[in-house]
Amino acid sequence: MKYKIKIVTGYRKDQEYSVSADEAHKAFYLFFNPEKRAIFGDGLAICGKDIQKIEPDYNGTMGWNPSHLLDDDDWNDIRAEGVDVELREVLSKGKEIAYNEPKKITQPLSQLT
């Protein structure tokens, strides 16, 4: 399964960007360093000052339409496959690496853990 995270830069749906979980530490690095900017693997270029929050992208990870609103059955599927736990771990590891070892942000997160 390809895990994804969501970078949110505003309140509209078109200000939510889904990126590979392998780049979670890069997103957190930008969040911690608002004067910096970066380009993600999918071509998304973003400034740290624009990031409002970083969160799990359950729809993207599960392969569901981004506009789909999750219901109880969806959450049961997410929990059954362990996606919620894995994405929480990805965010935690990404935050830790971005804060403690920022020189490693050029490497995929999966190679660092």
pLDDT of 24-82, one tens digit each?
999 999 999 999 999 999 999 999 999 999 999 999 999 999 999 999 999 999 999 99
First to last CA, the chain: 17
The SS3 of residue 97 is helix
| pTM beyond 0.85 | yes
Is residue 25 within 8 A of residue 98, CB to CB? The reply is yes
Residue 60 DSSP symbol: H
Chain-centroid distance of CA 75 in Å reads 18
Residue 13 DSSP symbol: G
